[in-house]
Each structure stands twice: as C-alpha cells, then as structure tokens.
Amino acid sequence: MLLLVGLVLCLASARALTTFPQKLQVGNLDEDVVVTCNTSEQQVTWTLNGELEPMAELVAEGRTLTILGLDLPAAGNYSCWAGSVLLDTTYVVVRSTCKERMNVSCQAESYRGSFRCSWRAPSFSVFRARLTRSNGSFGDWVHVAGRGGGFSASFADPSFCPFAEELHPLQLHLEGLSDNSFLSFTIHFFIRDIVRPDPPQELTVRRRGGRLYLAWAPPASWPLPKSYFALLYRLQYELPDGAQADEYLEGREETSLREGARRVRISCRDPNASPTWSPWSAWRDLETARPRGPAAR
C-alpha cells in the first residue's frame, strides 16, 4: 500500500450535493463569473438555490448573469426561467485556494491493472475520478459517494499489460465537490509500487514419513505463469512458549514444518517489486495434526 499525496484546498462545508451536476461552472475566488442561460429567449429571470433574490453582486443582462467577485455565499444552483418555465440550470462553485496535503491510499492485489483507492475528505460530499490508462487514453469518470468523510473506489486499466515493464506512471485525476467549493488534483503511481497480494490459499497440513508438511497455493488473484510472477513466502510459527519464528521460502509451495510448533500461518509478497506483504492466512493448528502417543490414533 502506498500513500500518495496531492496538494489540495480546504475551504468547504459538506452539504447537499450527492452527484456532479450536469452543468458545473468552477470560478476562482473574488473573480467574476459569467453564467449563460442556454435558451433562445431574449430575456430571462434568475434564481439562486430556488430564491428569487437579486443580490447586489449579480448583474443580469439578456441571457447572461455576471457574478461579481465570486465568494462562497454566491456559490450554488443558478436557474434561469421564462416566467414559470425552467430553461436551464448551472451549478457554480468556488475553486479551492488553500493548499493542504491530501492522502490517497491505493492498493492492487496483482498485476492485472485493477486497483482500489481510498481517501478522507470530510468537507466534501462527492467525488469523481478518472484514470489516464497506460496507453494514454482516458477511462470513464467513476462516481464516488462518501461515507462519514471517507471515500473509496475501484479502477481498472484494461490496456495494462502485466508482462511489460511499466515505463510511465498511471495518472488518477480526482475532483471533489461540496455545496460551494470544488477541489481537483492528480496523483501518479506505478502499479508495481502499490501491489499487495492476497494471502496464499488452500493450506493443507499432511503427515508423511513421521514429519509434518505444509502445502499451499498462490493467491487466486495472482497472475500466471509462476516462473514469471514469482512469490516470496513467509511462514510464521507459534512455538510452545508463545514466541514466534519466521521462515522465508521462494519458488516452492510445500515445506516440512518445524518440529514442536503449535501453529503456523503464511503470507507472501512479490520478491521483485513492492515490499508489502499480503495479509496473513488464518493460523493452522499443528497440535491436532500431531499423533499423541500410542493411545491416540
């Protein structure tokens, strides 16, 4: 897992928006913004957030409305009307100016080009994100709803080639909205740096010739062939005195187990790239696998 940091803004208060409005206009703080009503009518009236409230900083002329010196209270839903007929709606937000570090954490379970990212942004209510794929084309916008200030979304790059060396980082562009402000930033990263495999699977303990053996398989999500996508395994034993002991193995899916250990578990990682270990498998109890003297068969 890698923490990616983008520079962002911080003026905001989360409220109503749950999706990106169809027509969004982003303005800079204290600059004028011109909103245009898409209509053939010559004269229109305007409402802001449903209120017919001519603010002093608004200048209506024909089909346009000029917001003089945009500020947070002037952000919102601008609708133009011909009498009671709604003609058009534009949502105006302020581009964030204050810069703050934003942590985005991304993780891939293998080299298939899919990954998941999460971040916290309590002052924003909704995000959308778009991936620039490894072949340079844009992915679709992914809508990201928040929960308790946290956001997470999955992405896939269908043009990603697991066999090729990654020469250029992927780019993920994120945009966030609160009811009055807009945040946008881009993070760059290589899949190889965010890979964290799933745990090894199909663990079996067998007794053979008086010894215990553990066999396992690579995680199902790990790509083949094994000769190319190697895995380094880490076995961890719990000893009778409660201490733990680690053992490392590469290029094998079976090993004889250390005598006398209480239980064992296993994790894995890519030996050549990201040094992040997979989660552990569940513990395997070894005491039940061991014969308990002549009476117990």
Ligand X SMILES: *[C@@H]1O[C@H](CO)[C@@H](O)[C@H](O)[C@H]1NC(C)=O
For ligand X, the binding residues (CB under 6 A) are: 3, 21, 38, 50, 77, 79, 86, 89, 91, 101, 103, 133, 135-137, 158-159
- Write down the least CB distance from residue 214 to ligand X, Å: 36
For the CB of residue 225, give the shortest distance to ligand X in the complex, in Å.
Answer: 23
Question: At closest approach, how far in Å is the CB of 228 from ligand X?
Answer: 21
Region of 214 (left: φ > 0; alpha: ψ -120 to 50; beta: rest) is beta
Nearer to ligand X, 101 or 292 (CB): 101
Q: Would you say 52 or 243 has its CB closer to ligand X?
A: 52
- Side chain identity at 263, as an amino acid letter? R
Please state whether the peptide bond connecting residue 225 to the residue before it is cis, i.e. omega within 30 degrees of 0: yes
Q: With respect to ligand X, which residue has the nearer C-beta, 130 or 262?
A: 130
CA distance 198 to 218: 9
Q: At its nearest, how many Å lie between ligand X and the CB of residue 229?
A: 21
> How far apart are alpha carbons 131 and 141 in whole angstroms?
8
- Cβ neighbors of 245 (< 8 A, separation 6 or more) are 236, 237, 239, 258, 261
Distance of CA 89 to the CA centre of its chain: 31
CA pair distance 280, 224, nearest whole angstrom: 21
Cβ–Cβ under 8 Å, residues 5 and 102:
yes
Nearer to ligand X, 111 or 233 (CB): 111
* 10/249 with CB nearer ligand X: 10
Q: How far is the CB of 101 from ligand X (least distance, A)?
A: 5
